[in-house]
Structure 1
């Protein structure tokens, strides 16, 4: 009789997989089953009126949380008819800003479960953004999707919560009230978990994969054979490196929980063929424990750039970026390069994006578009058709001097530096003029090109402003009463640490500054830093409630920079065609 998969047959050496080796055992997983009642179906336009949550692990209820929430508006009649929650009931209830910290703490470290989880998670994510709270991004399990993956349509024609509650005969029936619906969802979850064992699902990773629609089966033998590589991986935030037989780095990644993430590569949750091929070649997993997510992200970027792992898609061209710069000659023209020099506009992720920016700049600046090199004295070429069209003053034919050409170059320098946005305003005037003449398609094309240029300029100015600073120190709440700390020098992370809850943060900050890496600026618009790292650091410093502890000198961005155009650019790109009001800047 042949040995079952995963067991040692005659002459075999593969031991049977334990639940622990397959991933995070379901019996050890903490689930927070959530239900929200709201004033409507869109998190952008509606608010939460009631929260119900039940925490369970191993089939045991660990705690419950329930509260009405004052949405600050009246409850629509249709919602009142459905839920029974009236405006009078929520008036005087806690506001969401008061409830949210308690709910996030209740959810801490758990898997978020809901019937139609994207809906509930979307409302909570939007709430975190509005109230300056970091969304913890918990693993999400949708019981509706899980039910459809586990139950046949003959058994469950509908996977609505009420239909599943009747199918399973739950003790609590859903009533469109948050806690009752959460309790009913707990019972539905437990009944579904009873079914998944027959599908070979024993771990959280396999359960999540099943709910996402992946077929439930064990990973290939060559992958399972390497599951022991995850044995000594710590449960901490950081970076992991898969190494091959010659100690080469195959893949670099980051995670808030290294142990859980690395284990997932050896389970059915990992469905990517590329990653399974990588794991089958791996001989070792190295880890670097980091203070927080920013340090992990920066280390990942640097390791990918240093090792260029074959299984990291980003490693094909690590740090590769395109820039638009003026050439170094008497009559400069715009050139697309990969090694920038000031003034440089970028970085762009593709040559095409940089080329499109050049075309837009040439519409706004009196710079030549030809590629010939023109001497400062006695140019002898014949004017081209652009001169006849009035788009070039023909310095190639001696019809424009170096001094007469220089204002266009100065305008480019002022635009890139954020000293003058007049070229953007000229482009905007053209868009409005085209729209006024009802040339909507041409206006829309000009609008989109201007929006792309404004976005590129804003990003370039923001990154350059940070890279110019000798030192910036930021502190971000870690969600547990402590602070994540980072010292940034010339746009690069120089040191990182955490001041845990109860630890005075300023002594930690001063120690961190004293021991931080010395970083000397280099030439170029970003002082020698990679655009990816500066962008990652800037995003951390400007989001998630990060506080600026120290800046030398003060951190400032150009007063006439393109950042003021970013909001317009976002709105402009979303505007439909059809009328002047949809095209113009108003």
Structure 2
């Protein structure tokens, strides 16, 4: 058999590696091994949540390379003003501790020198780096723009929900058995973050993340099986609405909403912008997306809630069962007490109002609100029902001896006197929470002065739980009692977005085009809108989260009330004296303290100055309401 003459290898052939032959990579292909990278792990303590309104109070940093600690940096920082009490409760850093500390303009140059040439690492990096960049701008120091690694994002890539319920620093430190427990002090938290970083890098190494350059894309890969599902977004409408991902057996896996474009929103599930691990898992098993086009963005959000409640999709985490949300109620009995209930009931015809606050996200949150009221008023805490006349041989509990209960169980307090206390509790629940706020704010301030921060945190949480529950009931109640409300808002493209609300439930929505008369659409909406049965207020005739969405829309800029129907059963203090008739909220309600936490400090200051029991000027009336009816929505207004 003839053989071919040998072929001389070319220069290109000589350049190709033979099987099994080691390959020498170019320097730009090697990258920087993580073991040779210098990391500076930093943590800050601040007076608040945003650089625009808060300042740094402490900087802690640890410099590491190859698992070895090269140095540490720690200093308190004078923020230029007092540290709020609730921040002192959280961090243990008081105003007295930072009075003699250097200002940020003195501290920042030293930190920048300490971190020069290193990769910055932080847990929830946007927060810490945002404050450092703002401080650099404020003090006119150039920001070096170092590479930043966020351990929260790394944890989301390698720590599953089965291992840890969340990706907070304390949770991850416990999971990885960090040598230092985070305690909301900067250096301790930075040391704990070092251990978390090393544990995360150890998990990433088997996945091919071994060089610094790998970290840039470690948290952003889009799995091929997810990318292949992009066709599910094809053909979806470019309009607001609700989308449902469907899986095997046509099961609804996930329900979401888009206020602008269904097609654009669904496409994001197949890109690197989608960071949620459970969403990637959901997309892998989904085979179709069902759209539901809605007239307005508000209708889209509301339909999303209703479809979640209807289908209970396994990949949705929002509230699905409004009947499970607890309320706090004054019981209907001769000697009422505070109880947790699952359903709002009507007031008894022959007794005091059965005041409610809530609903709460959990029974624990409801119990915190009850504890706040018990700390503020001498209302009984025993669980048994008391007879009108004391039972022979009855004995009082320890609370009576401490002066925290009038002991009606043994005749120490008449029904009339006890109901006077109940009336004060009901007033704080339904209207002005100032007595509860004052009692707790005073106690928190005293505990902080004594550096009893854990007890102060308990008092703070109780007050917060009460204010949130009372605020929600005070906001939901008036709209739940309102038989019908029509409102309109100008659209960006002209015309009107019109909403019909009945007893807190969205009963209909529509839009009108530029230049069109809106009144025919309004009247048609009133005739064709959903008929809603009156609920027992303050519970609305729908999921409370739906009424929250409606309230947020009604309070948004540009909304005009077209008509508000008053409740025929409303009492004088509820609606009949309010401007507009059917939608009123307390001027001195809990929402003022929820919206403005500084109102608590002003309350204490005004009390100290002797201005009065609550330090606030008398309003013109007891209620405040948005004007209802006849707001003059015309065809030319949104033209």
Interval containing the TM-score (normalised by the shorter chain): 0.5 to 0.7
For 2:530 and 2:215, the matched residues in 1 are separated by 45
- 8 Å CA contact retained: 1:472, 1:487: yes
TM-score (structure 2 length as normaliser): 0.53
Give the aligned partner of residue 154 of structure 1: none
Does residue 328 (structure 1) correspond to residue 341 (structure 2)? The answer is no
For 1:297 and 1:348, the matched residues in 2 are separated by 21
Give the aligned partner of residue 489 of structure 1: 502
Give the aligned partner of residue 469 of structure 2: 456
Q: 1:440 to 1:550 in 2, by over 3 A?
A: farther
Question: Quick one: which of 507, 510, 520 aligns to 2:520?
Answer: 507
For 2:147 and 2:237, the matched residues in 1 are separated by 30
For 2:459 and 2:220, the matched residues in 1 are separated by 50
Q: 1:433 to 1:269 in 2, by over 3 A?
A: closer
Structure 1 counterpart SS, 2:245: strand
Q: 1:233 to 1:528 in 2, by over 3 A?
A: same
Matches within 5 A, 1:433-452: 434=446, 449-450=462-463, 452=465
Matches within 5 A, 1:131-150: none
Give the aligned partner of residue 549 of structure 1: 562
CA-to-partner distance for each residue in 1:242-283, whole Å, 9 max, x for gaps?
A: 122222211000012111111222334334321122122223
Structure 2 counterpart SS, 1:548: strand
Give the aligned partner of residue 558 of structure 1: 586
Q: CA deviation at 1:461?
A: 0.6
For 1:43 and 1:407, the matched residues in 2 are separated by 47
Does residue 367 (structure 1) correspond to residue 371 (structure 2)? The answer is no
- 8 Å CA contact retained: 1:451, 1:573: no
Q: 1:370 to 1:296 in 2, by over 3 A?
A: same
CA-to-partner distance for each residue in 1:501-537, whole Å, 9 max, x for gaps?
A: 2222233222222221111112242243321111110
CA-to-partner distance for each residue in 1:304-356, whole Å, 9 max, x for gaps?
A: 11111000012565664221112333322111222233421111112222111
Question: Quick one: which of 365, 384, 399 aligns to 2:412?
Answer: 399
Q: How many residue pairs align between the two structures? A: 385
For 1:462 and 1:533, the matched residues in 2 are separated by 13
Q: 1:478 to 1:319 in 2, by over 3 A?
A: farther
For 2:602 and 2:286, the matched residues in 1 are separated by 46
Structure 2 counterpart SS, 1:513: helix
Q: 1:562 to 1:225 in 2, by over 3 A?
A: closer
For 1:212 and 1:502, the matched residues in 2 are separated by 52
Matches within 5 A, 1:562-573: 562-567=590-595, 569-572=597-600
Q: CA deviation at 1:434?
A: 4.8
For 2:148 and 2:409, the matched residues in 1 are separated by 73
- 8 Å CA contact retained: 1:304, 1:318: no
Give the aligned partner of residue 296 of structure 1: 300
Give the aligned partner of residue 223 of structure 2: 219
For 1:573 and 1:317, the matched residues in 2 are separated by 37
C-alpha RMSD over aligned residues: 4.0
- 8 Å CA contact retained: 1:427, 1:450: no
- 8 Å CA contact retained: 1:235, 1:260: yes
Give the aligned partner of residue 341 of structure 2: 337
For 1:389 and 1:306, the matched residues in 2 are separated by 50
Q: CA deviation at 1:233?
A: 1.2
Q: 1:559 to 1:228 in 2, by over 3 A?
A: closer
Q: CA deviation at 1:500?
A: 2.3
For 2:215 and 2:267, the matched residues in 1 are separated by 19
CA-to-partner distance for each residue in 1:160-209, whole Å, 9 max, x for gaps?
A: xxxxxxxxxxxxxxxxxxxxxxxxxxxxxxxxxxxxxxxxxxxxxxxxxx
- 8 Å CA contact retained: 1:451, 1:570: no
- 8 Å CA contact retained: 2:379, 2:404: no
For 1:573 and 1:567, the matched residues in 2 are separated by 13
For 2:527 and 2:518, the matched residues in 1 are separated by 14
Q: 1:302 to 1:211 in 2, by over 3 A?
A: farther
Q: Which runs of 5+ in 2 are unaligned?
A: 1-49, 55-129, 135-144, 151-213, 346-353, 567-579, 616-639
For 2:463 and 2:319, the matched residues in 1 are separated by 31
Question: Quick one: which of 236, 242, 246 aligns to 1:243?
Answer: 246
For 1:429 and 1:248, the matched residues in 2 are separated by 50
Q: 1:271 to 1:459 in 2, by over 3 A?
A: closer
For 2:484 and 2:257, the matched residues in 1 are separated by 26
Give the aligned partner of residue 390 of structure 1: 403
Question: Quick one: which of 352, 359, 372 aligns to 1:347?
Answer: 359
Give the aligned partner of residue 315 of structure 2: 311
Give the aligned partner of residue 417 of structure 1: 430
Q: 1:544 to 1:377 in 2, by over 3 A?
A: same
CA-to-partner distance for each residue in 1:59-96, whole Å, 9 max, x for gaps?
A: xxxxxxxxxxxxxxxxxxxxxxxxxxxxxxxxxxxxxx
For 1:510 and 1:417, the matched residues in 2 are separated by 35
For 1:371 and 1:148, the matched residues in 2 are separated by 53
Q: 1:377 to 1:575 in 2, by over 3 A?
A: closer
Structure 2 counterpart SS, 1:414: helix
For 1:567 and 1:218, the matched residues in 2 are separated by 40
For 1:310 and 1:433, the matched residues in 2 are separated by 45
Structure 2 counterpart SS, 1:242: strand
Q: 1:251 to 1:422 in 2, by over 3 A?
A: closer
Give the aligned partner of residue 264 of structure 2: 260
Q: Which runs of 5+ in 1 are unaligned?
A: 1-40, 46-117, 123-143, 150-209
Q: 1:234 to 1:575 in 2, by over 3 A?
A: farther
Q: CA deviation at 1:214?
A: 6.3
For 1:214 and 1:545, the matched residues in 2 are separated by 44
